[in-house]
Amino acid sequence: MRSFDYVVVGAGSAGCVLAARLSEDPRTRVLLIEAGAADGPESMAIPPAWPTLIGSSVDWGYVTVPQPGTNGLVHPYPRGKVLGGSSSINAMAFLRGHRAGYDAWVRNGAAGWGYDDLLPFFKRAERAAGRDSDYRGTEGPMVVSSAENVHPLAHACLDAAVEVGHPVTADLNGKEQEGVAWLDTNIVDGARQSAADGYLHPASVRSNLTVAPNATVRRLTLSAGRCTGIEYSVDGELRWVEASREILLSAGTIGSAQLLMLSGIGPADHLREFHIDVVADLPGVGANLQDHPLAGITYSSAKPVPPTTNQHSDLIAMVRSRPDLPAPDVQLVFLDIAYHPPTLAGPTNGYTVGFSLMLPHSRGSVRLASSDPDTAPLINPNFLGDERDLAAMVTALRLAREAGEAQALAQWRSGEVLPGAAVRDDGELREYVRRVTGPYFHAVGTCRIGHDPLSVVDTELRVHGIEGLRVVDASVMPHIIGANTHATVLAIAERAATLIAR
């Protein structure tokens, strides 16, 4: 059995940060272990090819359980299975949530995780040239910029957004976090930059950092209330490794919750269903699953939509569904492809105005389907399970349609295909939203920060009741933030690395 100071489970966004930062101390021995391969297909580096990575060899290939009110509809639920994790297969958006969302974490028991607490770590993660240095970083590993070659359709979409009254902001990651703006992405010289590219690969030359791909962690090993190591397999052969200081669980919102439960840490009654010995009864493990529900209005184009060199959405808007809200709760994303569920027939030449609810009330869960680590867990995002979310999504649809029908898009717009211009009645729109809403792939919350009975980790991300074990990934977010989640995961991991090293 080998031993390291720290064993990091999962080489996704958070795991890459932890491995790189902790190994900066040459006296510290770090093992980073990843179930996926070291490399993926060539398309992984090509920004507009990201949709082809869903269901590929670098995706865990998860699906949801049937969603409520959809006649048994299930959704693909991709999670990256390769160095870089989901940052290697996502759409490369780099967007912070509104400061109000992080400050709400503090009010709900996550002291130390407010916007001002995280701002130094947001800045530490990024290299955003030419931006306001009060808010943006200039020396971090992740290169952040808006599109160099903006798609011509995106220019028309910007004019449409302004036409219907949305203000323009120079930087949604800066001081003004509301309005329409060019989207920041992690695209460098025309290629994707994953967390593995930004953090891990430069650190991999260090002799005190060991990276082990193609190694599937099966359980945590525990003794007398302390996590001492992990059990994992390589090509079917079981192996063990110890951590003299800590195990850092960064397997993601799905994987971290599953591994805790397989190891006897979770809801006691649920674990006993699978004859798993209960080490710590933590009912919040696997609960509180949240995602941004995503849908869209799809148009046929009056002229050919040229291909893009970017990731299909150069422009984004953060808006409010009601003026009395403290922060934007709807994201409009302008796509240069016809993006819709494969169950619906869309145009061969078209584009989509997507809409997503940023602050959903619905909560889902991750539960075991078996005590066998090779069996995928049961994932229930419970999209639109709360009626307030359905009503807000219909409002978001109307906002998207308002922009889509603007005169500025007349030269592109042939007609509305989905749901169709004749679909106007509130009941019909609710039915359409139910039918087309799916995941934005922003899963968070299954191991949330707090001190109440349903929390899983404390404010330093230590698992309640277990020594030597922390969770560091999107699962610790108490509430989903009002933006794509990758930038926030990096900031969480940057702050966690500082806490751990201290």
Tell me the residue type at 161.
A
Residue 326's SS3 state is coil
- Residues constituting the chain: 502
Q: Is residue 140 classed as helix, strand or coil in its secondary structure? A: coil
Residue 60's identity, in one-letter code, is W
Give kind and range of the element (H or E) at residue 100: helix 99-107
For the residues of 390-413, what is the DSSP string, one character each?
HHHHHHHHHHHHHHHTSGGGTTTE
> 152-163 and 387-404 helices cross at what angle (nearest 10)?
110
Neighbours of 385 (CB within 10 A): 18
**Marked catalytic residue, from 75, 98, 442, 464:** 442
Q: Is 275 a catalytic residue?
A: no
Cβ atoms of 105 and 457 closer than 8 Å: no
Say which residue the tokens 């290169």 belong to.
Answer: 143
Contacts of 69 (CB under 8 A, 6+ apart): 384, 434
Pick the closest to residue 84 from 128, 24, 44 (CA basis). Answer: 44
Which are the catalytic amino acids?
442
